[in-house]
Amino acid sequence: MSPLLWSLATAAIVVILSIATRAMSRARRARRIVLEEVRRRLSGGTIERLPSRGPQARGRLGELEVTVDLHHDAQRRNEPPMWRVMAVGPVGVTEAVEAHVGDWRGWIDPWMQMEKALPVSAAAGPSFTVHAHTPLTLEHPVVVALRRQGPALNSGGLHVQRDFMRAEVRFDPHPENNRGLFGFLDAMSEISSRESSRTVTSPRVVRVNFTRNAG
């Protein structure tokens, strides 16, 4: 290879590395800013730094114990990292429900793919689809909460079952474009605070496989 080609190749590598470094720096900054805002919104909120997962925000949201971190699914390597919200506490539903908002395609519980789907068009904000074993109505707590948030939501998934919820929300390296995470947090708080759904009558044990998303 001629000296000129060597120089051009070296310059290209330097440019690529510089772009990648700037992108990683923006992502770290966005994660830090958004997690700090989550911490402020949670009761008793703290930021913990785990060697295996990096920083995460923990605290209480109403009666829910909530953990929020930035997660990359090893089985979805071509997709950017996503916000992951884990909430444990009172959730008044009698069977599992999973909602996909906007163009979200990932399944939190893959078994839910076999369940019935209820498409919901929102007057404001993205439309979404709710999956459950039995037919749902627009009065179901998950549907009501997601419709109420409307424009506050962006692309993401929400899995709801008794005493547990998990959300996955698209991450953006620009902090101001992560407002959807707080829309999902507000929806989860509302779902937890509502009484048991009157639209679902038969309890069912649901197998939830989270091993593919282990941090």
- The mean per-residue pLDDT over the stretch 182-199 comes to 79
Whether 118 and 95 have beta carbons less than 8 Å apart is answered as: no
- pLDDT, tens digit, for every residue of 127-156? 999 999 999 999 999 999 999 998 999 999
The full set of domain ranges for the chain reads 3-213
Pairing of β 128-132 and β 116-120: antiparallel
Q: What are phi and psi of 60, to 5 degrees?
A: -110, 140
CA distances from 160 to 164, 165, 180 (A): 6, 5, 18
Report which of 181, 96, 192 is spatially closest to residue 141, judged by C-alpha positions: 192
- pLDDT, tens digit, for every residue of 31-62? 999 999 999 999 999 999 988 778 999 999 99
Which pair of structure tokens corresponds to residue 165? 């919820």
Order across the sheet with 97-101: list the strands: 43-50, 54-61, 64-71, 82-88, 164-170, 156-161, 97-101, 128-132, 116-120
173 CB-side CA count, 13 A: 10
